């Protein structure tokens, strides 16, 4: 179920706002089961409440997903998702003030089945006071060899408008346009009656459109880099390239054990045009108790290198063409543990075939290898804590992600 992947996505974001958008795109799916044959998704309703708490950021909000089949060949779905954000993260403490905001996301999709082929189309819009995003996506899934092999191709195109707030009010003169394209190719194979394997390839690009000299749209417009000046840290707005390309490959396997349980393993490798290389691995154990209680335990590790233009402290202002101090572009590693419970209600509801309650909790710990917590140890003034500039303690982050939702099949 894709909603269980939320914590995986959460540790790869370039900033809080991007994290929330990506997190929502994952959660809005709520329950997407891998397709190994040409079948329509189940008719269902999912009602979710999510919470993220970590690194000075708190995110809460509801989501509702409705999926309905039309005849035997068409399935339509709609999702509404809300983020209510309160942030006093390390980045905010370093160069801005605490903020609160709300983001609303709406999406619709259509699936059409023809013989052994599924076609899907989708549209998502996301609105907040300083960022608007529209995403179009399509996909084709084809099964072969008696449904033992499934091939899927996906493409998405996004048009974003990056804004900026001044003292809580949108700046009418600040509008930056960004386009995004993403491609995916997945091949799933049933190897034995107990083993399924999948290979996935992904490629993506982001580009700023119609930028004036000195402008860029790929960074957070509020974030600054730090440089050394007169023995203390000084701040200046970050400078990013106008394009960003990335590629990733992953391998996944699911093995059904002799009893009512299964083990799933994932390995993924990521590289991009900014010099970042990342690797993550995950293992899950899922146990079905008496067909009405499903328990899931997972463990995940992740590590990445830094971007070519990242530094915790530059030697002087405008030391190079591009400069960033986004901690998600720094070298870091993380570990995540997770627990999930799915309970099938024993009673029946008129008009409902099945209903479940689902609770998932993930705890992640991130250790940054070259991002120092100067905001809490002297800031941009002469350090009062005894630490020299550039030698402040390294930053660490602990976060919890909780998702509770009810599902109804009809």
For residues 68 and 76, is the Cβ–Cβ distance under 8 A? yes
For residues 94 and 374, is the Cβ–Cβ distance under 8 A? yes
pLDDT tens readout for residues 219-257: 988 889 999 998 888 999 999 999 999 999 999 999 999
Strands in 71-219 per DSSP E = 74-87, 99-114, 117-128, 131-144, 149-162, 165-166, 169-170, 176-190, 195-209
For residues 186 and 151, is the Cβ–Cβ distance under 8 A? yes
pLDDT tens readout for residues 5-46: 333 333 333 344 444 444 443 344 333 344 445 678 889 999
Give the pTM.
0.85
For residues 108 and 77, is the Cβ–Cβ distance under 8 A? yes
Q: Is the pLDDT of residue 61 over 70?
A: yes
Closest CA to 44 of 9, 83, 3, 105: 3
Give the chain's domain count.
Answer: 1
| Cβ atoms within 10 Å of 33's Cβ, excluding its own | 10
pLDDT on residue 68: 95
Residue 4: band (very low, low, confident or very high) from pLDDT cuts 50, 70, 90: very low
pLDDT tens readout for residues 132-152: 999 999 999 999 988 899 999
Judged on CB neighbours under 10 Å (0-12, 13-18, 19+), 205 is middle
pLDDT on residue 55: 84
Q: Which residue has the higher pLDDT, 123 or 13?
A: 123
| Domain containing residue 103: CATH number | 2.40.160.40
For residues 201 and 188, is the Cβ–Cβ distance under 8 A? no
Cα–Cα distance for residue pair 299/7, rounded to 1 Å: 11
pLDDT on residue 9: 32
Residue 1: band (very low, low, confident or very high) from pLDDT cuts 50, 70, 90: very low
pLDDT on residue 214: 78
| 184: Cα within 13 Å, side-chain hemisphere | 18
Alpha helices (H) in 72-221, listed in sequence order: 90-95
pLDDT on residue 387: 81
pLDDT on residue 13: 33
Arithmetic mean of pLDDT, 382-404: 83
pLDDT on residue 5: 32
Domain range spanning residue 97? 2-409
Cα–Cα distance for residue pair 192/195, rounded to 1 Å: 5
pLDDT on residue 109: 96
- Cα maximum dimension of the chain: 73
Q: Is the pLDDT of residue 211 over 90?
A: no
The percentage of the chain sitting over the pLDDT mark of 70, rounded to a whole number, equals: 86
Size of the chain in residues: 410
Q: What is the mean pLDDT of the chain?
A: 86
pLDDT on residue 171: 86
Contact partners, residue 31, CB within 8 Å, separation at least 6: 1, 2, 3, 44, 46, 65, 407
Cα–Cα distance for residue pair 30/405, rounded to 1 Å: 9
For residues 79 and 61, is the Cβ–Cβ distance under 8 A? no
pLDDT tens readout for residues 275-315: 999 999 999 999 998 778 999 999 999 999 999 999 999 99
Arithmetic mean of pLDDT, 344-359: 91
Q: Is the pLDDT of residue 121 over 70?
A: yes
Q: Is the pLDDT of residue 380 over 70?
A: no
Cα–Cα distance for residue pair 119/67, rounded to 1 Å: 16
Helix (H) or strand (E) holding 270: strand 261-272
Task: Return the structure tokens found at 79.
Answer: 């999702």
pLDDT on residue 194: 94
């Amino acid at each position: 179920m894709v909603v269980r992947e939320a914590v995986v996505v959460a540790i790869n974001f370039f900033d809080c706002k991007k994290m929330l958008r990506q997190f929502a795109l994952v959660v809005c799916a709520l329950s997407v089961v891998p397709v190994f044959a040409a079948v329509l998704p189940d008719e269902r309703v999912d009602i979710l409440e999510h919470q993220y708490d970590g690194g000075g950021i708190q995110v809460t909000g509801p989501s509702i997903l409705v999926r309905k089949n039309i005849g035997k060949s068409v399935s339509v779905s709609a999702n509404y998702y809300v983020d209510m954000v309160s942030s006093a993260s390390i980045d905010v403490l370093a160069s801005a003030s605490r903020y609160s905001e709300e983001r609303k996301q709406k999406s619709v999709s259509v699936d059409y089945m023809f013989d052994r082929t599924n076609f899907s189309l989708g549209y998502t819009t996301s609105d907040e006071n300083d960022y608007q995003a529209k995403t179009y996506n399509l996909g084709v899934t084809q099964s072969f060899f008696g449904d033992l092999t499934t091939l899927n191709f996906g493409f998405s195109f996004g048009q974003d408008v990056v804004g900026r707030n001044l003292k809580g009010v949108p700046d009418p003169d600040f509008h930056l346009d960004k386009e995004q394209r993403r491609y995916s190719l997945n091949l799933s194979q049933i190897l034995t009656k107990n083993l399924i394997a999948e290979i996935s390839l992904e490629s993506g690009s982001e580009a700023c459109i119609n930028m004036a000299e000195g402008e860029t749209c790929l960074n957070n417009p509020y974030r600054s880099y730090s440089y050394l000046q007169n023995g203390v840290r000084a701040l200046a707005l970050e400078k990013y390239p106008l394009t960003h390309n990335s590629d990733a490959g992953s391998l996944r396997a699911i093995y059904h054990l002799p009893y009512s349980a299964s083990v799933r393993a994932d390995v993924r490798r990521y590289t991009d045009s900014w010099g970042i290389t990342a690797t993550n691995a995950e293992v899950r154990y899922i146990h079905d108790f008496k067909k009405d209680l499903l328990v899931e335990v997972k463990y995940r590790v992740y590590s990445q290198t830094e971007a070519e233009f990242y530094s915790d402290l530059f030697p002087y202002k405008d030391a190079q063409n591009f400069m960033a101090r986004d901690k998600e572009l720094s070298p870091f590693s993380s570990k995540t543990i997770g627990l999930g419970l799915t309970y099938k209600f024993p009673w029946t509801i008129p008009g409902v075939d099945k209903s479940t309650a689902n609770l998932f909790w993930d705890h992640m710990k991130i250790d940054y290898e070259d991002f120092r917590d100067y905001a809490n140890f002297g800031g941009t003034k002469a350090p009062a804590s005894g630490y020299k500039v550039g030698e402040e303690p390294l930053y660490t982050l602990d976060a919890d992600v909780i998702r509770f939702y009810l599902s109804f099949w009809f």
